[in-house]
Amino acid sequence: MMDNTTENDEVQFDEEHLSSLIHQGDTLAFREEYLSLHPYDQAQFYEKVEPDIRQVIYQYLSPKELAEIFEALELDDNGYTRFLEEMTPIYAAQMISEMYTDDAVDVLNELDKDQISHFLKLMSNEDAQEIRELLHYEEYTAGSIMTTEYVAIPENSTVRSAMTILRNEAPNAETIYYIFVVDDAEHLAGVISLRDLIIADEDTLIHDIMNDRVVSVKVADDQEDVAQIMKDYNFLAVPVINSKNEMLGIITVDDIIDVIDEEASEDYSKLAGVSDMDTFDKNPFLAAKKRLPWLVILLFLGMITANLVDLFTDTLEKVALLAAFIPLIGGTSGNSGTQALAVAVRGIATGNSEEDNKWALMLREMVTGIIMGVVCGIIALGIVYFWQHTFLLGLLVGVAICCSIVVATLAGAVIPLVMHRMNIDPAVASGPFITTLNDITSILIYLGIATAFINHLM
């Protein structure tokens, strides 16, 4: 992608040239070339090359320089471990302690407890303590994605002294564009943007120009809620506080972009019945491994459908034409269920659902289902009547489609909401699963009605 989007040729990194500098053992030339790249490009190179070249990189770069590259790596589960294993433990520990705390925690979270405490022992007490504090926050909470490298100033500072603090902190802070103001007891009292700071008079008190209506998130808040706030308010960073209103860290917009992307991917995977969509597998065996679990579970569920149809063999033997509409009715029911599911899951994700009012939601989805059911039912009746010239069969198919759509719509909307409420992992309510359930109910409805009225149909 870089080809068409970067401005000039120098921007792309020349992989061969970098490798050749390493092969020549030209430390200085390599460092100059490599370190002038954007960390993202450095990370691309680092990830791509053979392990023996990375061994040289560990010689040429300091743990601090490598830390910046590690922050730019975006790896899947257990992606960091294989790199850490290439390094000496002391080098790895130093590198981790040089990373922004949130990124360090991401890396460490891949390891088991013994390995983590081994690395923490190799760090300075202070660094280890900071990391240890973040490690115990639960996944998917604000605490798990926040970083502790932020700029905080006392509210009675002047703009001049604030700028001095800022210049000192700039090399280490993850962002200096929002400066958080704390009172004597370290409570979050306000926020001021660097934009406002640089246009303010140098002798002004921070207290007088800060925004005291600061929006913050609690450390245990769901990361999706944090993402929603930052998206709504267009924040570049948001402060994280504990229940005593003490400031613990900040969450920056780049982490939030990852959260938004991740959550959307997750919802999408659920709808499709793929266990993990983060990587586009080049290896067909890995791809099959990710997709097979759902396919096999659904195959077993599908056998239930087959069993059900089998119960109606007598009916089907009498009017074989009935079988022709089984896929149609199952399919339509599956489609309407998937639509309802998608809307509900998206509603949960974007916080737009009114799940507080479960009954209103159920009523609304039922009405939606009835409208769609009646429309589709009448259309189906019409088609079948004109095609087969039997009004009764048309009526049967129409009624079955209508009922199936109502049931499927209700199930698709309500099941994920109920699961969300009960804190059950909504992955269980994934698209194909609900589709198969709807398959079963729709066939029961269709063949049930058909059997009841079989004498009229023959």
Report, in Å, the least distance between residue 151 CB and a copy of itself: 11
Q: Whose Cβ is closer to a copy of itself: residue 36's or residue 117's?
A: 36
C-alpha span between 440 and 330 (Å, rounded): 8
Q: Whose Cβ is closer to a copy of itself: residue 125's or residue 234's?
A: 234
Give the strand order in the sheet containing 237-241: 217-218, 237-241, 247-252
Report, in Å, the least distance between residue 406 CB and a copy of itself: 12
Q: Tally the residues of the chain.
A: 458
Structure tokens at 143: 């605490």
Report, in Å, the least distance between residue 435 CB and a copy of itself: 7
Residues 6+ apart with CB under 8 A from 359: none
Report, in Å, the least distance between residue 139 CB and a copy of itself: 19
Q: Whose Cβ is closer to a copy of itself: residue 111's or residue 165's?
A: 165
Maximum Cα–Cα distance across the chain: 95
Q: Whose Cβ is closer to a copy of itself: residue 87's or residue 342's?
A: 342
Environment class of 162 (CB within 10 Å of its CB; exposed 0-12, middle 13-18, buried 19+): buried
Residues 6+ apart with CB under 8 A from 122: 89, 90, 93, 94
Query: Do 441 and 408 form a contact (C-beta atoms < 8 A)?
Result: yes
Query: Do 146 and 240 form a contact (C-beta atoms < 8 A)?
Result: yes
CA trace torsion 352, 106, 53, 115 (10° rounding): -150
Structure tokens at 230: 């930052």
Q: Whose Cβ is closer to a copy of itself: residue 56's or residue 323's?
A: 323
Report, in Å, the least distance between residue 451 CB and a copy of itself: 13
Q: Whose Cβ is closer to a copy of itself: residue 118's or residue 346's?
A: 346
Report, in Å, the least distance between residue 8 CB and a copy of itself: 8
Please choose, from the candidates 139, 141, 144, 101, the residue with its C-alpha nearest in 3D space to the C-alpha of residue 123.
Answer: 101
Residue 99, number of CB atoms within 10 A of its CB: 25
Q: Whose Cβ is closer to a copy of itself: residue 5's or residue 125's?
A: 5
Q: Whose Cβ is closer to a copy of itself: residue 43's or residue 66's?
A: 43
Structure tokens at 262: 């991740």
Q: Whose Cβ is closer to a copy of itself: residue 15's or residue 232's?
A: 232
DSSP reduced 3-state for 399: helix
Residues 6+ apart with CB under 8 A from 286: none
Report, in Å, the least distance between residue 395 CB and a copy of itself: 15
Inter-axis angle of helices 253-272 and 326-349, nearest 10: 160
Please choose, from the candidates 174, 180, 173, the residue with its C-alpha nearest in 3D space to the C-alpha of residue 255.
Answer: 174
Report, in Å, the least distance between residue 31 CB and a copy of itself: 16
In this structure, the strands spanning 188-193 and 178-182 are antiparallel
Query: Do 366 and 406 form a contact (C-beta atoms < 8 A)?
Result: yes
Report, in Å, the least distance between residue 243 CB and a copy of itself: 11
Report, in Å, the least distance between residue 371 CB and a copy of itself: 4
Q: Whose Cβ is closer to a copy of itself: residue 207's or residue 291's?
A: 291
